Amino acid sequence: MNVLLFGATGMLGRGVLRECLRSDAVESVVAVGRTPLGVSHPKLRECVQGDPSDLAAAGIDPAAYDACFYCLGVSSVGMKEEEYRRVTYDLTLAVARPLAAANPGMTFVFVSGEGTDSTERGRSMWARVKGKTENDLLELPFRGYMFRPGIVQPVRGVPSKARLSRVFYAVLGPLVPLVRKVAPNLVITSEAFGRAMIAVASPGTEIPAHILRPADINRLGTAPTRHN
């Protein structure tokens, strides 16, 4: 498959990129973002630009891609709802709508979060915005899947870009193996996360629902796959 990847500089995006470059199922990856990746690979082409949603400026033909893995996002900490909505909802839909219109056969995977509010009416600002984003993506005429990870453990040299996440893993990282033993489906590795995205976009994969929780992501991400 040919893959569009947004947000490859973040921890989750890095994990997805790594697995895409290793997977026999992926022929090419176009990574769109605001900053260079510092990665070179025969499968990879980068589009570095200020507005990631400007597909025309990136020279992207939506009909040429089988899947879009949308890992672009920010923490809501310290942000007002209008600002968070602009980054989380407006930018995502600005990418998704033209892709769906031009290529309804595409698989679009959006990184949401465990605790997202599908009713769009809860008290948590980030959960409402994520819920609105999920709901509107699922209305578009492509194969949309919403990933709601819980705790994602970076592995295989994948860094955590966000300062809050780095502090979290520095302080609580040693407890993650214990959490995995007590609640194995609460923790997902960055490797399993990337492999699950590829599985969802691969023909013949049995997918339980359009909204995938940690247990679903773990199951898809630990199934046998072929790698280079």
Task: Kindly tell me if the per-residue pLDDT of 71 is higher than 60.
Answer: yes
Residue range 73-90: mean pLDDT, rounded: 94
Place of tokens 């900053």: 35
Q: How far apart are CA 121 and CA 113, in angstroms?
A: 16
Residue range 203-210: mean pLDDT, rounded: 93
Instruction: Write out pLDDT tens, residues 159-191.
Output: 555 554 554 455 455 665 655 566 566 788 899
130, 120 contact by CB (below 8 A): no
Task: Kindly tell me if the per-residue pLDDT of 148 is higher than 90.
Answer: yes
Mean pLDDT score of the chain, rounded to an integer?
88
Burial 171-200 (b: 16+ CB within 10 A, else e): eeeeebeeebeeeeebbbbbbbbbbbbbbb
Q: What is the CA radius of gyration of the chain?
A: 17
33-39: Cβ within 8 A, 24+ apart: 33/6, 33/7, 33/8, 33/9, 33/72, 35/9, 37/8, 37/9
What is the predicted pLDDT for the residue at 85?
Answer: 97
Instruction: Give the bridge partners for 152, in sequence order.
Output: 188
Residue range 210-219: mean pLDDT, rounded: 94
In a 13 Å sphere around the CA of 119, the CA atoms on its Cβ side amount to: 5
Instruction: Write out pLDDT tens, residues 25-66.
Output: 999 999 999 999 999 999 999 999 999 999 999 899 999 999
- Terminal Cα-to-Cα distance of the chain (whole angstroms): 15
